[in-house]
Amino acid sequence: MRFCSKSPLVFAIVRVLQYLSVTDRCTRRTDTKENRMSGESEYYVLKKRAVPEVLLKVVEAKRLVESGREATILDAVDRVGISRSSFYKYKEDIFPFHENLQGTTITLTLQMDDEPGLLSCVLKVVADFKANILTIHQSIPINGVASLSISVQVLEDTLDVSDMIREMEACEGIHNVKILAKE
């Protein structure tokens, strides 16, 4: 049997081969059951408003016990209004962003108006929070708005990074602040 190059069968075979060649080059999903069982994790940075209430209550219960305001976990979970099982289920999976950051580098991107002194305002916030500036890159403003990329090292005496970001966002002329990376 002879196949014409315009035969539907030939087109179908070519499409399947193209599909297979593309899918072979695609990366495989790494969040498999085996990875979860071995302890490998993926991390996400979320704003507080995107986090389910039960997880925020777990953080609050941990804070109550660590600060000594509540003597036991049972007292803490009763105070915040969650069950002990919820607490134990999530206690190792959620923590405030500023915890465990010491010695890390955070790269932020900001959209800001092209105004004299605005970069100085951002740098003052970083200095006030006792973080170390590693790199700064500001783009040429387009339509009066510039992009700023800043890498900040979190030191032992650095204050709460979440508060630092909020204070940057509060500066007049800053459109938004986003976390690009955490190393």
Mapping DSSP onto H, E and C, the string for 100-146 reads CCCCCEEEEEEEEECCCCHHHHHHHHHHHCCCEEEEEEECCCECCEE
User: Which of the following CATH numbers is that of domain 105-182: 2.40.10.220, 3.90.110.10, 3.40.190.80, 3.30.70.260?
Assistant: 3.30.70.260
Residue 3 has which token pair? 């196949």
Q: Return the sign of the alpha-carbon dihedral for residues 167, 163, 41, 157.
A: positive
Least confident of 18-27, 33-42, 47-56: 18-27
Where does the chain hold its CATH 3.30.70.260 domain(s)?
105-182
Distance between CA atoms of 102 and 152, rounded to whole angstroms? Answer: 11
Distance between CA atoms of 56 and 9, rounded to whole angstroms? Answer: 57
Q: pTM of the prediction?
A: 0.52
Yes or no: say if 177 and 169 are a contact pair by the CB < 8 Å rule: yes
Q: What is the mean pLDDT of the chain?
A: 78
Nearest to 167 by CA among 134, 136, 124, 117: 124
Distance between CA atoms of 130 and 146, rounded to whole angstroms? Answer: 25
Q: Is pLDDT above 50 for 20?
A: no
Biggest alpha carbon–alpha carbon distance for the chain? 84
Residue 62 has which token pair? 């941990």
Residue 27: which pLDDT band, with cuts at 50, 70 and 90?
Answer: very low
Which has more pLDDT, 182 or 106? 106
pLDDT tens across 98-143, in order? Answer: 554 667 888 999 999 999 999 999 999 999 999 999 999 999 999 9
**What is the three-class DSSP state of 157?**
coil
Residue 145 has which token pair? 């708005």
Q: Is pLDDT above 90 for 40?
A: no
pLDDT tens across 135-165, in order? Answer: 999 999 999 999 999 999 988 888 888 889 9
